[in-house]
Amino acid sequence: MARIISIVNQKGGVGKTTTAVNLAAALGLRGKKTLLVDIDPQGNSTSGLGINKRGVKTSSYDLLTGSATARETILKTEFDQVWVLPSNIGLAGAEIELVDMEHRESRLKTGLAPVLEEYDYIFIDCPPSLGIITLNALCASDSLMVPIQCEFYALEGLSQLMATVRQVKRLYNPHIEIEGVLLTMYDGRLNLTQQVVEEVKRFFPRKVYSTVIPRNVRLSEAPSFGQPIQYFDKGSKGATAYAELAQEFEMFAKRG
């Protein structure tokens, strides 16, 4: 049975997609069958895994609205043991369409159910909002991973995110837990960074990964080549960090 992990933070630009793509690839290289479900209309996880968004025929939109099954939608990437359930701009309207649908919060969970046996891990790359699409991710997940950018406003919005998680736990998914909190774009030379790290650790006791992701220009270049960092520049600091994260993740991931 796959363990399902949502990568969530309603703030944009904190490293959700970078983490989704590179952690999936790092786990694939560790021999783990990994599916990345892209539910951001921007489709950056899709293109980051080398899939042309415009060529995608069925996407997470079709899965959410029930017009295609997971099996019809999932694509094999060219990277070891990594599959993607792609997204594109077509998903942008789903937020509104879902409002009037039955079981609007559990459609992703239902859609993914038939393929759970086929993967070790399923990651869901969420959009930068706490709307119905993200709600679907949280309802479908065993846990959530929260990337936090080491910057001045790092903690902003996290109380709201945690309130949403508590509500999901109470109403729909009593088993959801925090998988881990990941510090991204870390620059140890800045005093501010240390301050942020301390604050985040206070906010999430015992949940912060000891692996931190450094600011690394190669990580920001890899997506335009449609490659995870392990394939784009294996020797880079970014590749090392995500390989370490994969190891730490597997050490702590409680298997169902």
Which has the closest alpha carbon to 242: 127, 11, 82? 82
Q: Quick check: 220 binds ligand ADP (CB under 6 A)?
A: yes
Token pair listed for 244: 């370490």
Distance of CA 70 to the CA centre of its chain: 17
Q: How far is the CB of 17 from Mg ion (least distance, A)?
A: 3
The site partner of 13 among Mg ion, ligand ADP, none (C-beta below 5 to 8 Å per kind) is: ligand ADP
Q: Could you tell me which stretch among 76-84, 97-105, 129-137, 217-225 binds ligand ADP (CB under 6 A)?
A: 217-225
Q: How far is the CB of 69 from ligand ADP (least distance, A)?
A: 27
The site partner of 215 among ligand ADP, Mg ion, none (C-beta below 5 to 8 Å per kind) is: ligand ADP
DSSP classification of residue 225: G
Residue of the chain from 141, 184, 193, 211 that contacts ligand ADP (CB under 6 A): 184
Contacts of 233 (CB under 8 A, 6+ apart): 218, 222, 239
Q: Diameter of the chain by CA atoms?
A: 51
> Within 13 A of 250's CA, how many CA atoms are on the CB side?
18
Q: CB-wise, 28 or 223, nearer to ligand ADP?
A: 223
Radius of gyration of the chain (CA): 17
Q: Quick check: 167 binds ligand ADP (CB under 6 A)?
A: no
Which positions touch ligand ADP (CB under 6 A)?
A: 12-18, 44, 128, 184-185, 213, 215-216, 219-220, 223
